[in-house]
Amino acid sequence: MDRSANRKRRIDQFSALVWLAAGATVVTEARTLEYTSEFGPGPGFFPFWLGLVVIALGLALLVKSAFRPTNGEELALPGRYAVRQMFLVMASFFGFVFLAEPVGFLLGIGLLFLFLLVFVERRGWKFSLAVSVVSTLAFWVVFDRALQLQLPRGLLGLLD
């Protein structure tokens, strides 16, 4: 087995372990929530099953990386630009998670869309602002009005 194929296999195995740990964490945390409620599935239902799916996919990747022949595949690593784009996307999602509570879900999701469109997709400000506003309004209609979910209000709660 050449070095490139061996490196790809190690990367896949490491990635599988990360997914297994993430899935186990989600399942563990979901078990602290109610699995069922008076009216159907509780807040722990979806994360519990999602965590199990992530664990299953992590196991599948681990098995695939351990037994799949590599056939002399070349390891294609992303270039600098792709790594920068991936970093920006991940950083923006982490930023959204940490800002959703203090600034509110709707303002946070609007800022997330705006950031992704301007800095990752490199779209113009007018287009990005329009898409962000329309998308945020769509989220509000679906989640707040139609599904009547309690979204973090943050700064928008001051307007009540």
Tell me the backbone φ, ψ of residue 122, rounded to 5 degrees. Answer: 55, 45
CA dihedral sign of residues 8, 11, 12, 13: positive
152 touches 101 (CB < 8 A): yes
Tokens of 87: 């970093």
Report pLDDT digits (tens) over 58-109: 999 999 888 766 666 665 667 888 888 989 998 999 888 888 888 988 999 9
> How many alpha carbons fall within 13 Å on the CB side of residue 124?
3
Tokens of 139: 């989220």
Identity of the amino acid at 52: L
Domain boundaries of the chain, sorted by first residue: 1-77, 78-160
pTM beyond cutoff 0.75: no
